[in-house]
A and B are shown apart, each in its own frame.
Chain A
Amino acid sequence: MNKRSKSSCSFAVPRRMKINNKVYFGNKPIFLKINKKIKYSTYALFALLLILPETAMPEPFFRQVLPGYQYAFPKDHFSHPDFQTEWWYYTGHLKSEDGRRYGYELTFFRTGIESQRKRQSGSAWVMRDVYFSHFAITDENKKEFHFWEKINRKGPGLAGAEEGRLEVWNEGWRLDAAGDSHHIRAKKRGFGIDLLLTPAKPPVIHGENGISRKSRDPVHASHYYSLTRIETRGEILIYGKPSDVKGISWMDHEFFSHQTPEGLEGWDWFSIQLDNQTEIMLYQLRLKGGNIDPVSSGTFIGPDGETRHITSSGFSILPLNIWKSKESGAEYPSGWRIDIPGQGLSLRVIPSFKEQELITREATYWEGSCSVSGNYNGIPVTGVGYTELTGYAGSF
């Protein structure tokens, strides 16, 4: 479908990490040209290249992530332009009336460029922020994976994220508020989703003191919250054929101003929704050299909405298999054994099928729907989940 045919080297988009910094984007310079055609990465990401590390700057231009941030909703659903980078990340599992199962991912990214933010100009095309968006559909029955991307500057209204209300869009892909629900829409060439998302639980703030840490250096931190269980209904379009669907979704919203930490190779991120109304979020930061950064953490969300922060010592993730991508040559772990002894959880997370890799201009990463099974305090549980793996597509 839209998979790039021959990418030699591409880099992972750190979903949770500093996207801005060109060097740190997955640790590897993003622009490393793939084919002879310089154009692709060149143009596509050159906005990203503009984003320079602020390390030498005395006074940071963007607002820093500091402890003591007061979250308020629905305000914090809206855009935070004073922070440099932000994204809204929706994943979910859907089932049509005739029993077919689908997974979807729709993400909206925004990242600000300091030099352009400071610029005095009447032109609407000044690249104060770059907006990009990924949209993927997993057809679990047919074992097909489709993904598309968009990249835009705001211009006269091509993309944007509103500060005063929940409205984020990139051309025709949209996130709007519908009362207390979120309405997301995306369509491309005979595929699409149009879903109404009603959160069943209040937003969950990850990390400690409202800060989710990404490295030992406190500057690498973000404000990160999720809507961990969202009732979903709407329509899916597959090969031009619409079907009504129902299901469950997960939303991540993260905003920050730091650059990617230097020693970071990539991360593995898991969202799990068990049928006993509990949810788990875990992320594992993989450092160069093979170790796991001890600031890796997670969150356990109980049926009543009670949340518990899990530190890196509190969970273990064991990959069960390896899948090598023919497209990118990356080797991804496929299937995991996840243990959270403190919560009495022992789970197996298995991808609904292996080939759920996205190769975009910004990065190459694996993000796919998974099925979950295991034990909770001895009681067997099942559920669904989404896993994201970044930083595996090195060069050959």
Chain B
Amino acid sequence: MTLNLFRYFTLPHFYREKGNNLLTITGICLGVAVFVAIEIANQSTLASFKKSFDSIAGKSTIQIDGGETGVHEGVMTALMDVPGVILAAPVVQAYPMIGETGGEIILVQGVDLLREDKVREYKTEKDYKRDSVDNAKPLHSPKQTAERSLEEKQDHTSLNSDDSKLSASGDTQLKGLIDPDTIAISRSFAQRNGLKTGDSLMLKYNQSEREMVIKAILEDEGPALAMGGNFAIMDIANAQEAFDKIGYLDRIDIVSSSDFSVEEVIRNIKTRISPGLDVKRPEMRNRQIENIIASFQINLRILSYIAILVGIFLIYNTLGASVEKRRQEVAILRSLGASKAQIYGMILQEATILGLIGSSIGVALGLALAKSALSLVSRTVTSIYLLTAVNEITLTRGTVALSMFIGIACTVLSSFIPARRASRIRPHIVIGMYASNSENRPTASLWRYGFLSILFFIVAVTFYRAGMSRSNPASGYAAALFTILGFTCITPGFTNALVRLLGPVIERIFGIPGKFSIQNILRSISRVSVTTAALMASLAMLISIAIMVESFRETVYMWTVQTLKADLYITTTIRFARGTDDRLRAQVRDIVEGIKGVAQTGPYRFININYGESKIGLASNDFEVFKKQGGIWFKSGDVQKILEEARAKDGVLISENMELKYGLKHGDSVTLDTPSGIMSFLIYGIYYDYSNDLGVVLMDTGLYKRVWKEDYISTLGVFLEKGAGIEDVASNIKKALGASDYLLVMRGQELRDRAMSTFRQTFLIFFALEIIAMLVALLGITNSLMISVMHRQREIAVLRSIGATKGQIQRMIVIEAATMGLTGNILGIFAGVSVSLIMIFVITRQSFGWSIKYNLHLPNLVMSIGPVLLVSVLAGYIPARKAAGIPLAEGLRYE
């Protein structure tokens, strides 16, 4: 019987219900597409990190990481003949910029090509020889003459195998890397930038520009795949010269013997080198990255779950409408003997098919969206965490399968209720003695829901309190979820009460149509509540996020004002991508302080260092300058005293999220791995830092210089004398330092603005999705009313026959829509404020460690009612027209 049902009822319906089905499919599409896009973005980001790390790690099983300050190259001799170490490969690396400002950044690794093959494999292009022999290049120097004569001799004396010819050419390329200022680039980078061997490439790094000659192209394999293909190698000596790292290495990659366990070899290594050095397995870096961007990724995931929920709601609505339209048909089917189960099955079947179609399109759409999602994600991750260049999309079969499953599952799930309703349609529609059918019994379950909502609120509060004390954002999300659930359960009761309250007023203003609207709502509380709840939920999220963002913005703004106090800031352009170790030389400070009009400068240095399983920021600045000029916002305590004590006693200050994340307090000591060994520092104060969520340890420049043995500057803050002209000083500084589009001289206001804009960017995605959610909820109103109108055909026909005008009928529907909108809005405000508390005091705090000052802008909230009301009215427009257009004779028929 089900088969026949499908052929004769479901299938024809598909054709008839094109509009509705399209909406349903759109709903599924939306949910699945966003889910897929975000999953892809997340996975691709992680995968690209992993790939970079893995491809760079090659065969190495242990890495000694110098972090941002590097490791002294003397360590190499200590590693000679450590039991278990087959090879220690030194690496000097940098992220110079190519071309103009804002141009690409490339990862350059300086390696000891003599021994690299034991760790990493580089393949060079094989047709080089053909080119070099065919194009007789003019000879420039005796060296080249000799080279050419060498090649010629080789040709004469070479053996006849092609291999030999190839290898001859192969090494001709890489041997060229010994010469100063030479480089080998990856094929994909070469293609993207139209480069070939022999071309020159300008690298900008550390206030200098160097022209490199491309000597070889690396095939896109192994390490050449790192950084999305933005990869190059140089000989290690050249790298040290070009990047001003004489005497230092960034990393030592170690291949260990399989006769030893890796842990054993790590122990052996640690006994021979300074204890403060970071010796790890390469996999740990993957885990570190995951930890670092975890919060960000979780939040993105939540977004995708919201998208799915929105999709479910849309599906529920449209499927429901479609089922309603077929009441008659189903009734007849039932009277013919179709069982409840069969009807159920029919609807579910339909849902599954729609789910399949929608999911498939959704996956494709998601893939298309993924590219933009990816660029957005990688831009955000770059500016906040570390440099990423994600050029590849990782779409696993698992993701596709999961998305399809989610799409279909959601469709089927949301079809359960309409299916159940359909199966319950009694075999013969009782042509009631009444003009209208009462959809359900209004008051019976209100108490039940009320009780449930109290339960949910209690659970929510419990999670809230749990979230306050423990550093676990999950409890914050749980609290938010239960709060929304609580408000959802309260919706029927609230709607009931509000409508009864407003009833007389509405009646007085709008007359009979108003009365009918009210009555209608009261009669179909459950249908109305679903719609209103959806509106409430989406509004709640929108409002809570808006409140959070506003509060955050206020707090961050206050922070920028308190912290970014200098008149001018000097930094390098790459600075805005984290994780690159670009920096200014210490002389810059002297040069700038010598310029007329400059009173003082604050040398801010910021690096990332390992801490536990993750990383934290290590910052330094001149505490004397802080004392005089300000620029640090303490949580509590006497500013001057704290700074003086910390400086005198070689103590440190920690950022507030350090306190929250690691449980460190004033008076505790924090233990760090430093180039001078493992050291403990006493904490003298806690300050606010919203520039990153990793946690920062801040110390005086003098202490930093002593322990980290370097005096580079990340950003130099310049304080002017009274009356000095900011423009003049800025241009003098530019002249003195040598203008290059590599160096940035910014006014203080510019930096503050830039800080705020980065912040704004991050929240854009959230807002976009919220608006969509709200629109969908409003669509729910439309749908809900459409169903209602379909139910009430006869009632409307009777009214029209008695003399109700089309306008009066329309008004009836629209008032209902507006009332639902208003109810949803008011509830949404309450829910939104509640959730905002959770967001600010639990989620943000636990996810990022930031405390935000709660800022509730009441007038804004109240003003939101206007637009929502307006849009609700608009939402009621289509059902209103449909109601008014009901043909009278048909509506009154009994058959």
| Residue ranges of A at the interface with B (Cβ–Cβ < 8 Å) | 8-9, 22-23, 27-29, 31-34, 36-47, 49-50, 52-57, 113, 115-116, 119, 121-127, 130, 151-153, 155-158, 171-172, 187, 189, 395
- Scan B86-126; emit 1 where CB is below 8 A from any A CB, else 0: 00001000000000000000000000111111000111100
Least Cβ distance of A363 to chain B in Å? 15
Q: Is the pair A8, B161 in contact by a Cβ cutoff of 8 Å?
A: yes
A155 to B175, CA, bound (A): 18
Task: Please judge, given known A-B contacts A115-B178, A155-B73, whether A33 and B117 are in contact too, CB under 8 Å.
Answer: no
B267 at the interface (CB under 8 A from A): no
Tell me whether B76 is interfacial, beta carbon within 8 Å.
yes
Return chain A residues, CB-CB under 8 Å to B161.
8-9, 32, 395
Q: B237 contacts the other chain (Cβ, under 8 Å)?
A: yes
**CB <8 Å contact, A28 and B157:** yes
Are B178 and A31 neighbours in the complex by a CB distance under 8 Å? Answer: no
Separation of A64 and B185 alpha carbons in the complex (Å): 39
CB pair B175–A50 under 8 Å, yes or no, is yes
Nearest CB in chain B: distance from A113 CB, A: 7
Closest beta carbon of chain A to B465's beta carbon, Å: 57
Contact with A along B166-203 (1 / 0, CB 8 A): 11101110110011100000000000000000000000
Q: Are B241 and A121 closer than 8 Å at their CB atoms?
A: yes
Q: Chain B contacts of A153 at CB under 8 A?
A: 112, 114
Check A123–B178 contact: CB distance below 8 A.
no
- B142 in contact (CB, < 8 A): yes
Q: Are B240 and A43 in contact (CB under 8 A)?
A: no
Which residues from chain B contact A41 at a C-beta distance below 8 Å?
A: 167, 171
Q: Tell me if B76 and A156 are in contact (CB < 8 A).
A: yes
Contact between A42 and B170, CB atoms less than 8 A apart: yes
Instruction: Report chain A residues within 8 Å CB of B179.
Output: 115
Contacting residue for B81 out of A37, A121, A157, A172, CB 8 A? A172
Known: A22-B150, A29-B154, A39-B122. A127 touches B237 (CB 8 A): yes
Alpha-carbon gap, A261 to B703, bound state (A): 61
Tell me whether A42 and B114 are in contact (CB under 8 A): no
Among A36, A46, A127, point to the contact of B174 (Cβ < 8 A). Answer: A46
Q: Contacts A151-B115, A157-B74, A158-B76: A56 and B142 contacting too (C-beta < 8 A)? A: yes
Once A116-B178, A157-B77 are accepted as A-B contacts, the answer to whether A121 and B115 lie under 8 Å apart by CB is no
Count chain A CB atoms within 10 A of each CB in B112, B114, B124, B159 and give the residue with the most. B114
Closest to B152 in A: A23
Residues of A within 8 A of B175 (CB): 46-47, 49-50
| Residue B801, interface by CB 8 Å | no
Which residue of B80, B163, B235 is within 8 Å of A172 (Cβ)?
Answer: B80
Q: Does B429 contact A (CB under 8 A)?
A: no
| B736 interfacial by beta-carbon distance below 8 Å | no
Report 18 cross-chain contacts, Cβ distance below 8 Å, ordered by A residue.
A9-B159, A23-B150, A28-B158, A28-B159, A34-B163, A38-B124, A39-B121, A42-B174, A46-B171, A46-B175, A56-B142, A123-B241, A124-B246, A125-B90, A125-B112, A151-B114, A151-B115, A171-B81
A residues in contact with B121, CB < 8 Å: 37, 39
A234 to B450, CA, bound (A): 92
B117 & A43 in contact (Cβ 8 Å cutoff): yes
Nearest chain A CB to B116's CB is how many angstroms away?
A: 6
| Residues in B neighbouring A46, C-beta threshold 8 A | 113-114, 171, 174-175, 178
Instruction: Tell which of A8, A38, A125, A158 touches B166, judged by Cβ atoms closer than 8 Å.
Output: A38
Q: Does B276 contact A (CB under 8 A)?
A: no
B90 with A155: CB separation less than 8 A: yes
> How many residues of B are counted as interface, with CB atoms below 8 angstroms from the partner's CB atoms?
53
Q: Are B116 and A43 in contact (CB under 8 A)?
A: yes
Q: Which residues of A contact B116 (CB under 8 A)?
A: 39, 43
- Chain B minimum-CB-distance residue to A58: B142
Asked whether A121 lies within 8 Å of B80 as measured between CB atoms, the reply is no
> A395: which B residues are within 8 A, CB to CB?
159, 161, 164
Contact residues in B for A27 (Cβ distance below 8 Å):
157
Partner of B149, one of A50, A56, A113, A127: A56
User: Are B240 and A123 closer than 8 Å at their CB atoms?
Assistant: yes
Are A42 and B178 within 8 A (Cβ)? no
**What CA separation (Å) do A8 and B167 show in the bound complex?**
12
Contacts of A126 in B (CB 8 A): 237
Docked Cα-Cα span, A171 to B80, in Å, equals: 6
| Cβ of A131 to closest chain B Cβ, rounded Å | 10
CB distance from B114 to the nearest CB of A (A): 5
Which of B115, B143, B154, B237 meets A123, CB within 8 Å?
Answer: B237
Q: Contact: A158 with B77, CB < 8 Å?
A: yes
- Per the bound structure, the CA–CA distance linking A152 and B87 in Å amounts to 11
Question: Is B153 part of the binding interface, using a Cβ–Cβ cutoff of 8 Å?
Answer: yes
A29 proximity list for chain B (CB < 8 A): 154, 157-158, 164, 168
Whether B146 sits at the interface, judged by CB under 8 Å, is yes
Which residues of chain B come closer than 8 Å to A42, judged between CB atoms? 117, 124, 167, 170-171, 174
10 nearest CB pairs, A to B: A33-B167, A172-B81, A32-B164, A125-B237, A39-B117, A123-B240, A52-B146, A46-B175, A49-B175, A156-B73
Q: Is the CB of B113 within 8 A of A43?
A: yes
Q: How far is the CA of A328 from the CA of B143 in the complex (A)?
A: 34
- A41→B157 CA distance, assembly (Å): 18
Complex alpha-carbon distance, A41 and B114, angstroms: 9
Q: Which residues of A contact B122 (CB under 8 A)?
A: 39
Does chain A have a CB within 8 A of B683? no
B562 cross-chain contacts in A, Cβ below 8 A: none
